[in-house]
Amino acid sequence: MKKQLVVIGNGMVGHHFAEQWMASEMAADYELHVFAEENQRAYDRVHLSEYFEQQSSAHLQLGDDGFYALPGIHLHLNEAVITLDREAKSVTTAQGQYSYDTLVFATGSYPFVPPIDGRELDHCCVYRTLQDLDVIRASAQGATRGVVVGGGLLGLEAANALRMLGLEAHVVEFAPRLMPVQLDSDAGSLLRTKIEDLGVKVHTEKTTRKIIPGDEQRLRMCFADETYLETDLIVFSAGIRPQDQLAREAGLRLGERGGIAVDQHCRTSDPSIYAIGECAVWNNQQYGLVAPGYTMARVAAAHMIGNVGTTFTGADMSTKLKLLGVDVGSIGDAHGATPGALNYRYSNEIEGVYRRLVVSADGSKLLGAILVGDNSYYDTLLQYALNGIELPEYPESLILPESSGTGAPSLGASALPYEATLCSCHNVTKGDICEAMNDGAVSLSDIKSMTKAATGCGGCAAMVKTVFESELEARGVQVDKSICEHFSHTRQELFHLVKVEGIQTFDELIERHGQGGGCEICKPAVASILASVWNEHVHETKHLPLQDTNDTFMANMQKNGTYSVVPRIPGGEITPKMLIKIGEVGEKYNLYTKITGGQRIDLFGATLDELPLIWEELIAAGFETGHAYGKSLRTVKSCIGDTWCRYGVQDSMTMAIRLENRYKGMRSPHKVKMAVSGCTRECAEAQSKDIGVIATENGWNLYVCGNGGMKPRHADLFATDLDDETLIRYIDRVLMFYVYTADRLQRTSVWLENLQGGLKYLKEVVIEDSLGLAEELETRMQHIVDTYQCEWKTAINDSEKRKRFRSYVNASEPRKARIQLIEERGQLIPARMITEEEVA
Amino acid sequence: MNAALTASLQWQNVCHRKDLVPHSGIAVMLGKEPVAVFWLPGHDTELYAIGHTDPFSGSEVLAHGILCESQGIWSVASPLYKQHFRLDTGRCIETPDVGVDVWAVRMEQDWVQIGKVLIG
Ligand code: SRM
Ligand SMILES: Cc1cc2nc3c(=O)[nH]c(=O)nc-3n(C[C@H](O)[C@H](O)[C@H](O)COP(=O)(O)OP(=O)(O)OC[C@H]3O[C@@H](n4cnc5c(N)ncnc54)[C@H](O)[C@@H]3O)c2cc1C
Ligand code: SF4
Ligand code: FES
């Protein structure tokens, strides 16, 4: 007869164990019996609350339908184990008696209900199983208010569930703050404010003495401070306790505070009995998360088949979740309990974010962290903490907002060590992902099915994707870069299709090559491609709905809904008369006026109605649009060069103006900046521009793909001592090749870094014409130069186009009357804070 | 919307068909309230009217966002911080607790009319 392996409990961990076991070579020698107290097979308890949203539990089921039908496995649903006889090595259920050779406890936890008088009344519920949720749903019928006892992680989740059932939700917490285990008091009170803003009432430092029938509502909770709260239903979520009763009765050794004590192989005090998941305690510690439970399942299975090298020695309890839509994260030693630990804190009450770093005494390692309001910082911080990665010189940079507002800094995937654990639910390291790729995984779903990464709590999904893609790239594989759900093409492919098939409109393109109605990603990308290829006015009716407001109204929208006006000032050269004109216009329309970082002048605060009036005056004075809004040429910065400067060796001003006028009409994947310096002293900072030109005794040196913005990049020297005409030819080719092949919103710096073959390849294409494309690239650029029009000039001369610039199509009330401005240093700026009433 | 409610609405002309921009939006004033009107010619529902003020910035900008479709649901992406607001319910897709008002809107003999009773 085959040996008998019995598992008590078919929860998340019991199921994971069964899967591990069935995949092992010993499975064939055993009969596996799994006993489940619940009446359905294992389901995803982590996402239990989705049962309320989806009205069904089918999607929560774990494992394939066929799994428990495999030969050698027997699932006993609705059959709880009642007694364990260790002498006889058998368990009994209501249905019968079963003997075992090896036994595994996976009985999980039960919700702790504090011993309060009245807790057994109707409408007092708990939150653990699908059945519990059915009870709560039934109780919510005809109810108006629900109270959750316990302001921890699960309690807040339960409060959200009550809210979704249409109840007024209250949370009653015994401690002075919410989530006392994971958060400090600043974080707890911020979370409280956010949750109260969502309409959940929070009562802290309240101890419930008894529950009695209510007057107005079904129940009345009487608190120790003599106050009371009436409610129609109560959900207890005051913690969990390991389900250890059977083990206790059978005389197995327990932990100090309960739970079945196990060693590093997850073995109990009886060598033929193991315990895994929430019913087990290692080192007196219970692990109330699924990831450590899964690790225990793997360790126990490994030990049974004779692998003693895999051990369980504690687990990371970091958590990241969205509670009632509020991001909360807690990593490692969040409270700074380690001796000597030091803290960094960032708190922004206006935006409602709080971040705390706990670092080692010498400031070199991250011990823990707390996040409220923005979890984009979580993945990177977790990697620092888990892998003991050396912190940067200024650790606070990891939690300070980036001034550019691009969110959390990320730790490059390539910087992670191979041992770095990415997915703690399934214990998948970066090395495992690489191995799966060696074994043929070519998509994210391959990775998921081969390694199981990102299939547990899902918290690691973004990180796994980044690592997978960076590995693919490292192997020279093209990563799926579909621009959005409407087109499964890259920008380059779309560009090619538009050009080759002569496609003129978005509708035509989406009909032939896409699906659905488009979005804010594909519409502007296609508009930019159409403009690069056909160079039609952005205001043609067919292109209008594709543009973001900046392109539609040919001005950049500012934070208060007004727009900015930036006339072109090629090379920064301007006559005093023109300067005065700008001054006059600024004064007349009361615009805030500033010299920009790009050698020109920006006028801020114009309303839609004012834009055409302002431009009318500027154009009459000889100005043109500066394209500060488009993905197009911004400025060609210049120094004064040999015109005035004693060191200048070429006429940098004339060259800069020539370049600016040549490329000003171009639409490109991202904006393009250029500069021309009159000598090697480089006063125009040409080496930080997309196209940089520096004068030499013999001509010009051309630099390409520099950047000064978010991630500065020094431009590469591309060619030396060029004459004027060759310089222009090369720039034409480089730019058009960029327009042909870059991704959307990819600056030339990033484009070059991602271009296979890099600078050498670019030189081959542009200088040696290795693709035979040079002539086409030049012709296309010439077409753009020849069809240039000042978009503002076209717009103000067309009454139909001007109609678009009405702030309200049916009101004569000027928009400006509704905008709050205050004076600062003699000019008007947006009122700094808009209060609730003003917004409403 | 049910027939009884439709009947009880006070319809008010806000603009002419010619003021609309296909597949995009315009702003109108409804009393003191700025409203964004979107036009999707050729779709099942052609007209939508939602609040013009972006709740995240407090600025009147929503009519000037790009219209987006995802799984048959239409929304407008705020031109400032790019949150999506559903045209049918006014809910913000990224933060469903935030939303803008929604009005009944229809075309009567080339006039766009908004129902004066708030429906969403
Ligand atoms: C006005 C100005 C700041 C100033 O007061 O001086 C400015 C203002 C803006 N910059 Fe800038 N940048 C200005 C010079 C710069 C410079 C310096 C330069 O050009 O010499 C840089 C770094 C150089 C570079 O780009 O490599 C710069 C790097 C950025 C970036 C980061 C780009 C990057 O790829 O790293 C952005 C964001 C973006 O484009 O995605 C940005 C975006 C913006 C936007 C468009 C943000 C927005 O979407 O609202 C600002 C709106 C301008 C407006 O409303 O008119 N701005 N910005 C400068 C206008 C120059 C001009 O006359 O056109
Ligand atoms: C609402 C909610 C949200 C959660 N969110 C997260 C989260 O975001 N991240 C995270 O990591 N964890 C989360 N958890 C915790 C996670 O679900 C548990 O850690 C995990 O389910 C533990 O698995 P387990 O198998 O040990 O216990 P359980 O899943 O509880 O399974 C134990 C099973 O054993 C059965 N059983 C008990 N006694 C017997 C017996 N005598 N005979 C037969 N069967 C028996 C029980 O009925 C139960 O089905 C959440 C839990 C809940 C309730
Ligand atoms: S780079 Fe400096 S030194 Fe050279 S011409 Fe310009 S200003 Fe003069
Ligand atoms: S960490 Fe939970 S799924 Fe990967």
The 3-class SS string of B75-114 reads: EEECCCCCCEEECCCCEECCCCCCECCEEEEEEECCEEEE
Per-residue model confidence as pLDDT tens digits over A307-345: 888 899 888 888 888 777 788 999 999 998 888 889 999
Mean pLDDT, range A265-281, rounded to an integer = 97
How many A from CA of A576 to the centre of ligand 2?
Answer: 77
Does pLDDT of A424 surpass 70?
A: yes
A795: part of which helix (H) or strand (E)? helix A791-796
Rounded to whole angstroms, the Cα distance separating A424 from A457 reads 9
Does pLDDT of A405 surpass 60?
A: no
pLDDT of residue A5: 97
Does pLDDT of A462 surpass 90?
A: no
Subunit contact B21:A545, Cβ cutoff 8 A: yes
Q: Is residue A591 part of a domain?
A: no
Mean pLDDT, range A669-682, rounded to an integer = 95
Please give the C-alpha separations between residue A766 and each of A693, A694, A760, A773, in angstroms, as whole numbers.
16, 19, 10, 8
A299 lies in the same domain as A329: no
Rounded to whole angstroms, the Cα distance separating A104 from A304 reads 11
Tell me if residue A128 falls in helix, strand or coil: coil
A690 lies in the same domain as A777: yes
CB A459 near ligand 2, within 6 Å:
no
Which residues numbered 13-52 in B keep a CB inside 8 Å of some CB on A?
Answer: 14-15, 19, 21-24, 26-29, 34
A210: part of which helix (H) or strand (E)? strand A208-213
pLDDT of residue A832: 60
Residue B119: band (very low, low, confident or very high) from pLDDT cuts 50, 70, 90: very low
Point out the ligand 2 atom lying closest to the alpha carbon of residue A456. 11
Last residue of a domain, one of A192, A215, A237: A237
Does pLDDT of A479 surpass 70?
A: no
A511: part of which helix (H) or strand (E)? helix A506-513
Distance (Å) from the alpha carbon of B3 to chain A's nearest alpha carbon: 26
pTM of the model: 0.54
CATH of the domain at A254: 3.50.50.60
A779 Cβ contact list (under 8 Å, min separation 6): none
Does pLDDT of A771 surpass 90?
A: no
Per-residue model confidence as pLDDT tens digits over A42-58: 999 998 988 988 778 88
A786 lies in the same domain as A639: yes
Rounded to whole angstroms, the Cα distance separating B64 from A426 reads 46
Residue A352: band (very low, low, confident or very high) from pLDDT cuts 50, 70, 90: confident
What letter does residue A771 receive in the DSSP assignment? Answer: T
How many A from CA of A638 to the centre of ligand 3?
Answer: 9
Distance (Å) from the alpha carbon of B12 to chain A's nearest alpha carbon: 12
What dihedral do alpha carbons A587, A592, A595, A597 form, nearest 10°?
Answer: -160
CATH of the domain at A422: 1.10.10.1100
Contacts of A811 in chain B (CB under 8 A): 28-29
Q: What are A368's two structure tokens?
A: 């823990």
What DSSP assignment string belongs to A476-488?
TPPP----BTTB-
Residue A686: band (very low, low, confident or very high) from pLDDT cuts 50, 70, 90: very high
Report angle CA A796, A798, A801 to the nearest 5 degrees: 85
Q: What are A470's two structure tokens?
A: 């960076």
Rounded to whole angstroms, the Cα distance separating A24 from A288 reads 27
Last residue of a domain, one of A453, A480, A507: A480
Q: What are A646's two structure tokens?
A: 């004693």
- Count of residues for chain A? 840
A147 lies in the same domain as A219: yes
What DSSP assignment string belongs to A542-561?
TTGGGS-HHHHTTS-B-TTS
Subunit contact B79:A548, Cβ cutoff 8 A: yes
Report angle CA A507, A551, B29 to the nearest 5 degrees: 90
A703 lies in the same domain as A787: yes
ipTM for the complex shown: 0.70
A526 lies in the same domain as A636: no
Which 3-state string (H, E, C) describes A396-458?
Answer: HHHCCCCCCCCCCCCCCHHHCCCCCEEECCCCEEHHHHHHHHHCCCCCHHHHHHHHCCCCCCC
What letter does residue A466 receive in the DSSP assignment? Answer: H
Which residues numbered 796-815 in A keep a CB inside 8 Å of some CB on B?
Answer: 803-804, 806-811, 813, 815
A297 lies in the same domain as A320: no
Test mutation, A808, A816, A835, A838, chain B, max B CBs within 10 A:
A808
Residue pair A728/A766 in contact by the 8 Å Cβ criterion? no
A320: part of which helix (H) or strand (E)? strand A319-323
Residue pair A457/A291 in contact by the 8 Å Cβ criterion? yes
pLDDT of residue A838: 40
Q: What are B31's two structure tokens?
A: 């009393």
- Tokens 């030990």 locate to A303
Percent of chain A with pLDDT over 70: 97
Does pLDDT of A810 surpass 60?
A: yes
Give chain A's domain count.
Answer: 6
A286 Cβ contact list (under 8 Å, min separation 6): A109, A240, A242, A255, A257, A259, A278, A280
Distance (Å) from the alpha carbon of A804 to chain B's nearest alpha carbon: 8
Give the highest mean pLDDT range of A121-135, A467-481, B86-100: A121-135
Name which of A55, A361, A282, A379 is nearest A369 in CA terms.
Answer: A379
Rounded to whole angstroms, the Cα distance separating A20 from A371 reads 35
Q: Within A67-218, where are the H helices?
A: 130-140, 153-164, 185-197
Per-residue exposure over B96-108, b if at least 16 CB sit within 10 Å of its own CB, e if not:
eeebbbbbbbeee
Q: Is residue A622 part of a domain?
A: no
A205 lies in the same domain as A71: no
CB contact, 8 Å: A834 with chain B? yes
What dihedral do alpha carbons A257, A260, A265, A267 form, nearest 10°?
Answer: 140
How many A from CA of A618 to the centre of ligand 1?
Answer: 22
Residue A813: band (very low, low, confident or very high) from pLDDT cuts 50, 70, 90: low
Tell me if residue A95 falls in helix, strand or coil: coil
Per-residue model confidence as pLDDT tens digits over A159-168: 999 998 999 9
A41 lies in the same domain as A8: yes
Domain map (residue ranges) of chain B: 3-110
> Is pLDDT larger for residue B50 or for residue A412?
B50
Rounded to whole angstroms, the Cα distance separating A542 from A510 reads 13
- Measure CB to CB from residue B26 to each of A517, A809, A818 and give the nearest one: A809
A129 lies in the same domain as A177: yes
Please name the fold of domain B3-110.
Rieske Iron-sulfur Protein (2.102.10)
What DSSP assignment string belongs to A343-383?
EEEEEETTTTEEEEEEE-TTS-SEEEEEEES-GGGHHHHHH
Residue pair A630/A585 in contact by the 8 Å Cβ criterion? no
Residue A82: band (very low, low, confident or very high) from pLDDT cuts 50, 70, 90: very high
Subunit contact B65:A549, Cβ cutoff 8 A: yes
Nearest CA owner, ligand 3 atom 3? A647
pLDDT of residue A58: 86
pLDDT of residue A490: 82
Q: Within A151-269, where are the H helices?
A: 153-164, 185-197, 245-249
Domain of residue A131 covers: 113-237
Does pLDDT of B8 surpass 80?
A: no
A10 lies in the same domain as A57: yes
A765 lies in the same domain as A671: yes
pLDDT of residue B13: 92
- Count of residues for chain B? 120
Tell me if residue A296 falls in helix, strand or coil: helix
A620 Cβ contact list (under 8 Å, min separation 6): none
Contacts of B64 in chain A (CB under 8 A): 549, 552-553, 557
Mean pLDDT of chain A: 90
Positive or negative: CA dihedral A601, A603, A608, A611 = negative
- The CB-side HSE value for A387 (13 A sphere, CA atoms) comes to 22
How many A from CA of A658 to the centre of ligand 1?
Answer: 22
Per-residue model confidence as pLDDT tens digits over B19-30: 999 999 999 999
Amino acid at A426: H
CATH of the domain at A757: 3.30.413.10
Subunit contact A524:B66, Cβ cutoff 8 A: yes
pLDDT of residue A478: 61
